[in-house]
Every structure is written in structure tokens, then in C-alpha cells.
Amino acid sequence: MLYPPEDARELTVLMRLSRELDVVGDLTATVDGPSELIAWVLVLGRPEIVAWRAEQTGHRYIQATAHRDRAPVRGMLTALLSCEHHRGFWRALRLDDLEEGERRALKGTDLSTAWESMPITTEDIAPKPPATEDA
């Protein structure tokens, strides 16, 4: 995300001004990719992991949620991945048959197995400068 929304910028400023952060209540973090979601699953310990599709739009999501009772977050902590740009990961999890409004429980091992099976594409490799011919 190049330019975070105004609310996110305000939170960033407040965090920089504060010596420490202690959240009492629920917190949702939107992650950019499957590897970040897997990292959150590892940090959360044994979260409830659910793949679901929105009822109206059919958009695809995977979330990992755990209850925490220690700093810095006391409450429900959720990591959410929108899978509209990660359809290969969605397919690797064998979720293509999930209909709008449906949910399916997953395990952390499901996520890591699907991630390991993902092919490396040219988008994942840094661009190289054009080759020059020596005269």
C-alpha cells in the first residue's frame, strides 16, 4: 500500500508519540500476502483459521483469529487476507467449490502446504537489466 488511509496514518503518528502500546479490545490487521498470513498464524500460536466468501460480492478471504490476554493486545486479534489477488493460493487450498456466504475451517498446516506448492512466477523474480552485446 503506497498511501495508507488517513486513519492508519493517525494511528502511526500516535504509536510514534507513545512509549508503548496496549490495546484493550479487538484488533484486525490486513495482510498483503499468504506468507504474511502464515507468519501471523505462527505468532498467534493456535488461531482459528477460516476461509470464507462474502455473501453479496463473493469476495474471498482467509482469516486467522486468536484470543489474547496479554500486552500488547488484550482481546481478539485477527489477521485477514483478501484472496482476490491470490487466487492461486485459494486454488492450492482447494477452496474453488466454496460458494458465496460459505465458510470452511482450515489448519495452519493447510496454509503452509498450499504455500509450498505455489510455483515461483516471473513476478516473484526481480527484473534484470537488458543484456548488451560486446562488439
Is there a domain that residue 105 lies in? yes
Is there a domain that residue 130 lies in? no
Is there a domain that residue 14 lies in? no
Is there a domain that residue 9 lies in? no
In the block, cell 502500546 appears at 21
Residue 124 above 70 pLDDT?
no
Show the domain range for 74.
22-118
Q: Residue 1: its pLDDT value, please?
A: 47
Contact 15, 9 (CB under 8 A): no
Residue 129 above 80 pLDDT?
no
Is there a domain that residue 84 lies in? yes
Task: Map residue 127 onto helix, strand or coil.
Answer: coil
The band of 128, judged by pLDDT with boundaries at 50, 70 and 90, is low
Is there a domain that residue 1 lies in? no
Q: What is the pLDDT of residues 31-74, one digit of tens each?
A: 999 999 999 999 998 999 999 999 999 999 999 999 998 888 88
The band of 125, judged by pLDDT with boundaries at 50, 70 and 90, is low
Helix, strand and coil percent figures for the chain, each rounded to 5:
30, 30, 40
Contact 92, 117 (CB under 8 A): yes
Q: Residue 98: its pLDDT value, please?
A: 97
What's the predicted TM-score (pTM) here?
0.77
Is there a domain that residue 4 lies in? no
**How many C-beta neighbours within 10 Å does residue 51 have?**
22
Q: For residue 48, give the H/E element and its range.
A: strand 48-53
Q: Where are the extended beta strands (E) located within 1-135?
A: 23-24, 27-31, 48-53, 60-70, 73-82, 103-106
C-alpha closest to that of 80 among 37, 114, 46: 37
| Count of structural domains, the chain | 1
